[in-house]
Chain A
Amino acid sequence: MFDRRLVAFASLLLAARALPAQDTTVARLRHRADSLAIEWRRANVLALIADSLERERAIGGRDTVAVGALRIVINRSPLAVREAAVQAWPLIDSLYGTAAQSLVTRPYFIQAVDPDTTVRRRVLRVGTEVPWNLSVQDLTSLLLVNVPIPPPDRAFGDWLGGPVRPRLEAKAVAGRVYVRLVIAPSQAARSCFLGDLTGCRSALDLDDAEDAFLKWYPTALERRVALQRSFADYFNRPATAGSWNRCTRGDDNACIQLLRSIPHHAIPQPLDLEGRRLLVYAALRLGGRGAYVRLLADSNAAMSNRLASAAGVGLDTLLYDWRREIIAARPAAVTIPPWGAFIAFGWIVLLAGCALTSSRWRVT
């Protein structure tokens, strides 16, 4: 039999030996973390210096073109940058409103290059290389899609799928959203198409609900179809095969369970991001020059409230305006243009005329 006092004494001895060892390990790890933090700070400072030097290099010996609040730092070349900026600025100004003034401190850096030479160019780490024969229209598009506006907060960026950019092909985008509203395998999208704004709200993921997919796909069939279309391979594996088989056999609870296991943004949504972008454009259009600032003012607010605040109207009014724009952009389904019939008829007459002038009967 062991003496209990002996056991306690031995335990104390072991603990006394272990504690300094543990203390040493923690101290060593802490020291390592500190040194890593110091290295990170050093690297950060070096990166900032390099960035600053690159910027200086990019600015050195260059011209700055100023149009409105746009500032474009560019080397001397025949590139029609001022003309492009003149076309781009009204679009940028009308979209961002007062926020566009921040572009004064955020210039574009453009390096115009000769498109016909194979001479090796110096590496450019700041800005964009552009062939100097780029057309004004293409350069305008380039300026519009690369507006150096500060990025939005993460919640908004995630919801929109990126920053707000000026519209380039408004009618075509609205037409695509129209088609999506018609063919989306979702009750929410269909009811939105038919005029139910609650459906629009759900389809645009503005409900802030925990299980938003229950509103996107309110019926068991829709949920099952959504899973079968996008996650058949993902769920049909040993870990989830049981739930998957129950779901495909019609057990809606199993489908809901599987959908809950997927991150919110990974679940296929009734409308793609183009629909949301159109909604943001509608909000900015309705809200006037301060709309963009209001949109980004409160990053913790619900997306529906932010959009309504930006637009300066209720969410339903905003959704009504958005839906009206999309319905008005119904794509033309007629397969030939109105004058196409006349042109085709003209070709028929011309070809028949060719047959009339054939010389097969010429007697020689």
Chain B
Amino acid sequence: MFRAILYSQWKWSRLIVALGTVAAFVLPLVSLQGAARADRSPLEAAALLHAVQSWGTLYPLLATALGLLVAIATWAPDHRGRHIHALTLPLPRWRYVLLRFAAGATVLAGPILGIAVGALIAIAAATLPPGLHGYPVALALRFGLAVLVAYSLFFAVSAGTARTAGLILGLVAAVIVIQVFASVANLEFSVVDRLQIILVNWPGPLAVFTGRWMLIDV
């Protein structure tokens, strides 16, 4: 059963996965451009770190985009067919959802491997100034976790009913309204800031996306 679902998942999302894998493979190589040159000046350690940090902003974006697109691709055919195919299968719903989730997570292994291989090659090819070290495994691990968190989040939202989506949207709207009223009333109370702190700091769900994504560092 898993093989059949994985095959259908691959068919639906192969373009996204292929493009994502290429992007993930290329990104570490591009971020270390110039570091492999023999004539690179030894004075450029700061510039190198700066470039790596700038390119590093693309890792969480790529992870989010991959998670979102694969999650949408996972559920889109079911939504279009009004879940009739799924209902005809001799499976309880929880098992079907689990298989779908596992299939989506499996195809995401491609981009994660892409980034790991790209990072390892980039570090092996680069001549790093003394004091700087490469962290290809840590970066790939973090990227993997970020992709899976994004995928899980969008998978859960996509699997929900229109009512669930409405509830989530209503919650977001309520937060915005409260914030607007707090601002109008000149209260020193920021719901958005507090939510942001909760979400993007450890142990928040989005903490894995924040901070510096450095392929090389001190």
Which A positions have Cβ atoms within 8 angstroms of B? 178-179, 181-185, 190, 193-194, 221-222, 225, 330-331, 333-337, 340-341, 343-345, 347-348, 351-352, 354-356, 358-361
Contacts and interface: CB of A to CB of B under 8 A. Distances in A.
Given A221-B41, A355-B159, 18 more contacts: A178-B218, A181-B131, A182-B129, A190-B129, A193-B131, A221-B43, A335-B142, A335-B213, A336-B141, A336-B145, A340-B145, A344-B148, A344-B208, A352-B155, A356-B93, A356-B98, A360-B83, A361-B86
Interface stretch (B1-9, B111-119, B132-140): B132-140
B218 A344 contact: no
B101 A182 contact: no
B43 A344 contact: no
B97 A190 contact: no
Closest 6 CB pairs of A and B: A182-B131, A351-B152, A333-B217, A185-B43, A355-B159, A183-B46
17 contacts: A182-B45, A183-B49, A225-B41, A225-B43, A333-B217, A334-B135, A335-B138, A335-B212, A341-B145, A347-B205, A348-B152, A354-B156, A356-B94, A356-B97, A358-B97, A360-B159, A361-B83
Nearest to A344: B145
Of the listed residues A348, A360, A361, the one surrounded by the most CB atoms of chain B closer than 10 A to its CB is A360
Nearest to A337: B202
Interface residues of B, number: 48
A314 to B, nearest CB: 26
B81 interface: no
Contacts of B42: 190
Given A331-B218, A348-B152, A336 B208 contact: yes
B74 to A, nearest CB: 10
Contacts of A340: 145, 202, 207-208
Contacts of A355: 97, 101, 152, 155-156, 159-160
A106 B218 CA distance: 44
B145 A352 contact: no
A354 B97 CA distance: 11
Interface of B: 41-43, 45-46, 49, 83, 86-87, 93-94, 97-98, 101, 129-133, 135, 138-139, 141-142, 145-146, 148-149, 152-153, 155-156, 159-161, 163-164, 202-203, 205, 207-208, 211-214, 217-218
A342 to B, nearest CB: 9
A334 B130 CA distance: 18
A335 B159 contact: no
Contacts of B145: 336, 340-341, 344-345, 348
Nearest to A217: B43
Task: Classify the secondary structure of A's interface with B.
Answer: helix
Task: Classify the secondary structure of B's interface with A.
Answer: helix
Contact of A352 (B152, B207, B213, B217): B152
B218 A330 contact: yes
Nearest to A180: B46
B152 A193 contact: no
B37 to A, nearest CB: 15
Contacts of A344: 145-146, 148-149, 207-208
A185 B155 contact: no
A358 B87 contact: no
A298 B215 CA distance: 49
A333 B43 contact: no
Contacts of A225: 41, 43
B214 A335 contact: yes
A51 B156 CA distance: 70
B48 to A, nearest CB: 9
Contacts of A193: 130-131
A348 to B, nearest CB: 5
Nearest to B98: A356
Nearest to A343: B203
B202 to A, nearest CB: 6
Contact of B101 (A335, A352, A359): A352
A348 B149 contact: yes
A181 B98 CA distance: 51
Contacts of A358: 97, 156, 159-161, 164
A359 B213 contact: no
A190 B130 contact: yes
B102 to A, nearest CB: 9
Of the listed residues A336, A345, A359, the one surrounded by the most CB atoms of chain B closer than 10 A to its CB is A336
